[in-house]
Amino acid sequence: MSVNKQIRKVTTNTLQKLKTNGEKISMITAYDFSFARLFDQAGIDVILVGDSASNVMAGHESTLPITLDQMIYHAGSVIRGTERALVVVDLPFGSYQSNSEVALASAIRIMKETGAHALKLEGGEEVVESVKRIVSAGIPVMGHLGLTPQSIHKFGTYVVRAKEEAEANKLRNDSMLLQDAGCFAVVLEKIPAELAKEVSEKLNIPTIGIGAGMYCDGQVLVMHDMLGINTEFKPRFLRTYLNLAEEVTSAVKRYINDVKNKDFPSESEQY
Ligand code: KIV
């Protein structure tokens, strides 16, 4: 089954129903109007305005530099391109870690200024108070556990997380805390498939995996990775559906040639 045409507008309730019915959830990142519109029309369930915009849109080495204002700009553009999908926006680094009051203020800014449907933030126990406060303001929150890129300087590397029992136990506990705090779903990034299976079976809310194997309730990929725009990034978990870097380079080379050879524009392409 590809696209569920019965769903008119995807909501957090829809995702819950998909999990209950055993139908997988599809999620992809987008950062602008045009791609969001294409993904929405293709029938994607969830569009994530990820703070990976810091890497793939702005060229930073990590997700840390992107600001709340910049996330709001990207989110507003994505919302304008979306009719059906649920749009989830990342709270960027520094916009929620200090305390729950700051977290709520950042959350309200995103919701008010972009029209987004839900937010995502990284971490477990340490963000539970913020999750509760945001949820109690009526804003749906998605959690994010495992490899959490905003903490990359604490981890030191992007290797698979929670392979050791102590870290796996913390993740098990954090996932329950996030569910109890009111999260509607949790992203599990780069953890062993068996651990993701266990967590997905234990939680009532859906899990969305990236590098977390086949047992998650849904999957998410960064658009630049799955479309083959970003060719340097080749982790084992990534499936590339297009070689857009090659396609774009070849198209632009042909255009340059046509201009240089005075072949473009032709008589029929002028007024
Ligand atoms: O920012 C992002 O793209 C993400 C995904 C990797 C889940 O958080």
The tens digit of pLDDT for each residue in 30-60 reads 999 999 999 999 999 999 999 999 999 999 9
Q: What is the pLDDT of residues 153-203, one digit of tens each?
A: 999 999 999 999 999 999 999 999 999 999 999 999 999 999 999 999 999
- Going by CA atoms, what residue is nearest to atom 1 of ligand 1? 50
* Residue among 47, 121, 220 whose CB has most ligand 1 atoms within 8 A, to mutate: 220
- The residue annotated as part of the active site, out of 101, 126, 167, 189, is 189
Is residue 28 within a helix (H) or strand (E), and if so which, with residue range?
Answer: strand 25-29
Q: Which of 197, 188, 192, 143 shows the shortest CA–CA distance to 165?
A: 192
The helix (run of H) or strand (run of E) holding residue 209 is strand 207-210
147 lines ligand 1 (CB under 6 A): no
Give pLDDT, residue 150.
97
- Domain 3-240 -> CATH class: alpha beta
CA 51 / ligand 1 centre spacing (Å):
6
Integer Cα distance of 156 and 153 in angstroms? 5
Indicate if ligand 1 lies below 6 Å from the C-beta of 220: yes
C-beta atoms surrounding 4 within 10 Å: 14
Q: How far is the CA of 255 from the centre of ligand 1 (A)?
A: 34
Verify whether ligand 1 is closer than 6 Å to residue 122 (CB atom).
no
120 band by pLDDT with thresholds 50, 70 and 90: very high
Cα–Cα distance between 172 and 175 in angstroms, integer?
Answer: 5
Which residue is it, tokens 């029929």? 268
Q: Whose CA is nearest to atom 8 of ligand 1?
A: 50
Asked if pLDDT for residue 110 goes beyond 60, the answer is yes
- Give CA separation, 138 vs 182, 207, 216, in Å: 10, 21, 26
> Is the CB of 40 inside a 6 Å radius of any atom of ligand 1?
no
Model pTM score: 0.97
Enumerate the domain spans of the chain.
3-240, 243-271
State whether the beta carbon of 29 lies less than 6 angstroms from ligand 1.
yes
Q: DSSP code of 132?
A: H
Residue 159, phi-psi category: left (phi > 0), alpha (psi -120 to 50), beta (remainder): beta
**Cβ count near 158 (within 10 Å):** 14
For 19-30, the pLDDT digits (tens) are: 999 999 999 999
- d(CA 161, CA 150) in angstroms, rounded, equals 14
189 is catalytic: yes
Say what the pLDDT of residue 5 is: 61
With a pLDDT cut of 90, the percent of the chain lying above it is 96
